[in-house]
Each structure stands twice: as C-alpha cells, then as structure tokens.
Amino acid sequence: MVRELSIFLDLPDPVVAELRAQLPRAASQTVAAIIAEVPGYTSALDGPMGVRIEDAVRMALRGLLSLAAKPGSTSPLRPALDAAYALGRGEARDGRSMDALLAAYRIGARVSWRELAAVAVTARLPATTTAQFAELVFAYIDELSAASVSGHADELATSGRVQQRHLDRLARALLAGDPADALQAAAGRAAWQPPDTLTALLLPDGQVHGLRSLLDPRTLVLSEDLPGIDTSDDTVALLVADLDGPGREWLKRELTDRDALLGPTRPWTRVHVSYARTLRARRLHLATSAPRVLDTEEHLVELVVGCDDEALADLRAQVLAPLSELSSTTAEKLAETLGAWLLHQGRRADVAAALFVHPQTVRYRMSQLRELYGEQLHDPATVLALCIALGTPVRPNTRAAT
C-alpha cells in the first residue's frame, strides 16, 4: 500500500528543471559513494549488481523529483517503492542481509541531498522551502528503506517455505526407499548436501523442542504424513546425519527422559531400513519393558523373532501342538517350564529359581513334557523351533532338554 507523504513543496519550474538536469550527476555521485563506503558493494560495478544499484538510484531520484514537482501526489511514489521492494528481494536471493542495503540508503540520502541542496542554494529558495525539501528527501528514503525491508523479509519467507517443501518431499522419498538417483535429484532440488549416513529417530512432537539445535544441521525432520504411522499420531521422525559410534551414545544420553526410538545407522540412501526397524520396534511395544530411550540395536533378537506376527503365531501353535489337549492352565505352566529349561540349558536348579518353584516341580513337569514330545526334544530342529516360539534366545551350545 502506498502511503502519502505529508510534506508539500511547490518548487518553481526553473528549479525543477535544474534539478532534473543535475539528476545524472547526483545519481553517479550517489552510486560512487555507496560503492566506496559500503564494503558489501565494493566490487558491485563489476557485475549485474552495479546495474541494479544504478537503476535503483536513478529511479529513486526521479521519483523524488516528481514528488517535489507535484505537491500532494503519491503516484510518483509507487514505481520507486516497487523497485525498492524488488531490490530487497534481490538482496535476499543473493544471500545478503539488509545491513548493506540500509547503509546504502543512508549514504544515498546524504549524497543526494548534498547534490540537490546545491541547486536549491543557487536558486535562492527560501529557508523554509529548503528545509521542507530536506525533510521530503529523508522521509522518502525512509519509505524506500521500509519497502526494501519488506521485500527482503518476504523473499526469505517465500524461499524458506519453498526449500522446506523440498526438504519434506526429500524426507518422504527417503522413508519410502526411492531409488538412489531419484534421491540425489531430490537432494539437489532441496539444496541439501547429503551426509554419509542417516539414522532414524522417532519422538513425540512435544519432545522434539531443543533437540534440533544439538544435531547436525543436515538432519531432516518430518512431522506429517509419516509412512506407517496414523495421521492422528503426534510422532515426529528425525533423520539424524552422520551419527557415528560415540555420537550415538551421546545422543542417547541427550534423549534421557524422552520417549525415543532409535534405529540403526545406514548409508543415507538406505535410511528407510532404519526407519522400518523403528516402526517394527514400535509395533512390538518393546519400549514397555525397556528404558524410555530404546535403541533397536540392543533388541535385535526380539525384532528378528517378532518380524512376522502371523508366522510366529503359526510356529507357536505348531511346536506347542502336543500340549493342545491339556487345560489352558497346565499347558501354560508346561510351556513356561520348557522355555526356562531351554534358556538355562537343562540346569534344574536355575530353572527352578527362574520359575520360583521347587526343583522337584521342575523334574515332574519335564517328565510330563518328555511323555508329550518324546524323541522330538532330542531333535535340533525342534529345539530351535521351540526356542524361537517361546521367545528364548538361541545359544551356540544349546542342547536338547534331557
């Protein structure tokens, strides 16, 4: 919106004509001063920046003279404000802060007024008119500065939103396991420099605060439309960059008191494997019997055993078929005893201690199991199936229940 400057001049036509005649010199002097005094613009004349500065200065001075020649009119202000807005956006696109441009405006106001004031003095303008002219110059520069600041801020916001959309798309492509060439292209569009590795980390949304600043800036964060997670869930996925061995232990310490699931570290194009493992751990509810920070690398047995729920249920039904004719209570006790027997490799005292029963009870239950299973308890394949079905870690020297 164009604001009306509440400063009215009524300069004589000869003075306006002389000011217009001096405009090229004023513009040249202003550009030279800006380049000499603003470090960021020292080499500006060597490239397109020089053209942009000169054009902006000339347009600004033409707008100023139009305002001075047409008291009360705001129409001359619009083109200059539009140019100032575009200049601010251009600075942001070039990765420059507003500091240099605002300094240029201050220097431009000073030099321009010096050149224009010389004409006013020569024309013997009344002191009050000269003072109003000066006020108009500096009020005008304030308007241009504000327009450039607005353009700079809008460009940053726009480019930031665009890049974030590209980063979100990249994160989703990574989690989906897209081909490596597609991921490379997505990383290029997002202006994201791939790390060597990525590690999936799942956290509730409310617990992410304060964590991102501690991580590698290339870490990607995705909080919406996570594959395999209900849209009503508040889980956030972080793809942590280059989390080496010591870094992993450090991160686990930083995650203390957070409900975190940490996947394995993988090459960045294969982080979907890490993410899939955190989802599997989440589905198996491993965190219910583990610290709040759950490292999937410490639960590989449970993950392997529980990777296919239906297959595990079928295996369990198959290997426990000899107990199917018993009451549910008796079958449960015998299955528990058989699992402990396999875990403790037939050491009756250890089995009794684990089950909080007398060793004779263990002897009696194992006699029942031998009757039900017969020679199957001497078959390595059957022992392996029982270990997996009963959730018992398989040890290299596991022997049959005798």
Measure the CA dihedral 78/83/85/87, to 10°. Answer: -170
Identify whether residues 216 and 133 lie together within a single domain. Answer: no
Give me the helix-helix angle, 328-343 and 380-389, nearest 10°.
Answer: 110
Any domain includes 395: no
With vertex at residue 136, the alpha carbon angle to CA 134 and CA 141, rounded to the nearest 5 degrees, is 100
Choice between 402 and 225, residue whose per-residue pLDDT is larger: 225
Any domain includes 314: yes
What pLDDT was estimated at residue 1?
36
Identify whether residues 328 and 295 lie together within a single domain. Answer: no
Identify whether residues 81 and 104 lie together within a single domain. Answer: yes
CATH number at residue 271: 3.30.70
The pLDDT of residue 402 is above 80: no
Choice between 161 and 358, residue whose per-residue pLDDT is larger: 358
Nearest C-alpha neighbor of 101 from the set 144, 155, 51, 157:
144
**β-bridge partners, 260:** 293
What pLDDT was estimated at residue 242?
93
**What tokens does 253 get?**
């310490």
Q: Which of 24-28, 66-70, 184-188 has the highest mean pLDDT?
A: 184-188
| Mean pLDDT score, 222-229 | 88
Any domain includes 275: yes
Instruction: Look at residues 159, 185, 211 and tell me which one is the last residue of a structural domain.
Output: 159
Measured between alpha carbons, how far is 43 from 292 in angstroms, rounded to an integer? 56
Nearest C-alpha neighbor of 293 from the set 324, 323, 233, 253:
253
What pLDDT was estimated at residue 400?
43
Identify whether residues 367 and 296 lie together within a single domain. Answer: no
Any domain includes 169: no
Identify whether residues 301 and 384 lie together within a single domain. Answer: no
What pLDDT was estimated at residue 133?
79
Whether 397 contacts 343, CB under 8 Å: no
Q: Which residues contact 202 (CB under 8 A, 6 or more apart)?
A: 235, 236, 237, 238, 260, 261, 278, 279, 282
Q: Which residues contact 102 (CB under 8 A, 6 or more apart)?
A: 145, 148, 149
In the block, residue with structure tokens 């809008």: 154
Identify whether residues 27 and 140 lie together within a single domain. Answer: yes
Q: Band the pLDDT of 321: cuts 50, 70, 90.
A: very high
Any domain includes 394: no
Identify whether residues 25 and 154 lie together within a single domain. Answer: yes
| Mean pLDDT score, 149-167 | 85
**Model confidence pLDDT, tens digit, residues 241-286:** 999 878 999 999 999 888 899 999 999 999 999 999 999 888 876 5
Domain carrying residue 277: 193-305
**What tokens does 159 get?**
């480019």
Measured between alpha carbons, how far is 118 from 115 in angstroms, rounded to an integer? 5
Q: Band the pLDDT of 371: cuts 50, 70, 90.
A: very high
What pLDDT was estimated at residue 275?
95
Identify whether residues 114 and 213 lie together within a single domain. Answer: no
Identify whether residues 35 and 102 lie together within a single domain. Answer: yes
Chain centroid to CA 300: 29
How many structural domains comprise the chain? 3
| Mean pLDDT score, 348-374 | 92
Any domain includes 342: yes
What pLDDT was estimated at residue 396?
45
What pLDDT was estimated at residue 392?
59
Whether 81 contacts 2, CB under 8 Å: yes
Instruction: Look at residues 159, 178, 210 and tell me which one is the last residue of a structural domain.
Output: 159
For the chain, the average pLDDT equals 83
| Mean pLDDT score, 365-389 | 89
Instruction: Look at residues 305, 321, 340 and tell me which one is the last residue of a structural domain.
Output: 305
Choice between 342 and 397, residue whose per-residue pLDDT is larger: 342
Q: Band the pLDDT of 291: cuts 50, 70, 90.
A: low
Q: Band the pLDDT of 401: cuts 50, 70, 90.
A: very low
Between 198-212, 307-321, 348-362, the lowest mean confidence (pLDDT) is in 307-321
Choice between 322 and 79, residue whose per-residue pLDDT is larger: 322
Between 41-55, 81-95, 297-311, 364-378, the lowest mean confidence (pLDDT) is in 41-55
Choice between 1 and 228, residue whose per-residue pLDDT is larger: 228
Measured between alpha carbons, how far is 361 from 373 in angstroms, rounded to an integer? 18
Give me the helix-helix angle, 271-283 and 127-176, nearest 10°.
Answer: 70
Identify whether residues 294 and 319 lie together within a single domain. Answer: no
Helix (H, G, I), strand (E, B) or coil at 243: coil
In the block, residue with structure tokens 């492509």: 173
Nearest C-alpha neighbor of 195 from the set 173, 175, 220, 165:
220
Any domain includes 107: yes
Q: Band the pLDDT of 314: cuts 50, 70, 90.
A: confident
| Mean pLDDT score, 205-209 | 87
Helix (H, G, I), strand (E, B) or coil at 235: strand
Q: Which residues contact 186 (CB under 8 A, 6 or more apart)?
A: 166, 169, 170, 173, 178
Identify whether residues 321 and 208 lie together within a single domain. Answer: no
Identify whether residues 33 and 120 lie together within a single domain. Answer: yes
Looking at residue 117, its amino acid is: A
Nearest C-alpha neighbor of 68 from the set 158, 1, 146, 5:
5
Any domain includes 155: yes
| Mean pLDDT score, 365-370 | 92
**What tokens does 335 get?**
């299955």
Residues making up the chain, counted from first to last: 402
Chain centroid to CA 62: 45
| Mean pLDDT score, 81-102 | 83
What pLDDT was estimated at residue 11?
74
Looking at residue 386, its amino acid is: L
Considering the chain, what percentage of its residues have pLDDT values greater than 90? 30
